[in-house]
């Protein structure tokens, strides 16, 4: 899961992420628990009001929420040594 998030972060937002086996494993573990924690309200809503409409609405809402969480988790491992500063010229 961490490796996939690293690839997507670099492809979508052009953010360089530190690589290495321990970094990717830690990235995946943190992302797993973050998404698990953020998904609790979705589980409660789906339990209280099951149905196709609820599933579609929750999918659309959580696509944005999960994307935000995944980006924030990826920023923990951002490789700032390769970042180019904007000169303003």
pLDDT for residue 88: 56
Residue by residue, pLDDT tens for the chain (89 residues) are: 888 988 988 898 888 888 889 999 999 999 999 999 999 999 999 999 999 999 999 999 999 999 999 999 999 988 887 666 655 55
pTM of this structure: 0.81
- Return the bridge partners of 17, or none: 78
Cβ neighbours around 64 below 10 Å, total: 9
User: Where on the phi/psi map is residue 88: left (φ > 0), alpha (ψ -120 to 50), or beta?
Assistant: left
Residue 8 CA to residue 74 CA, distance in Å, equals 10
Query: Do 10 and 17 meet the contact criterion of CB atoms below 8 Å apart?
Result: yes
- Give the pLDDT score at 84: 61
Give the pLDDT of residue 56. Answer: 96
CA distances to 16, 83, 84 from 80, in Å: 8, 5, 9
Q: Which two tokens stand for residue 59?
A: 């999918």
């Amino acid at each position: 899961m961490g490796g996939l998030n690293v690839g997507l972060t670099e492809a979508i937002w052009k953010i360089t992420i530190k690589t290495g086996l321990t970094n990717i494993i830690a990235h995946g573990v943190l992302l797993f628990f973050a998404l698990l924690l953020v998904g609790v309200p979705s589980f409660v809503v789906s339990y209280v009001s099951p149905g196709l409409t609820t599933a579609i609405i929750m999918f659309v809402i959580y696509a944005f929420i999960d994307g935000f969480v995944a980006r924030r988790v990826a920023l923990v491992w951002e490789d700032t040594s390769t970042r180019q500063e904007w000169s303003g010229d």
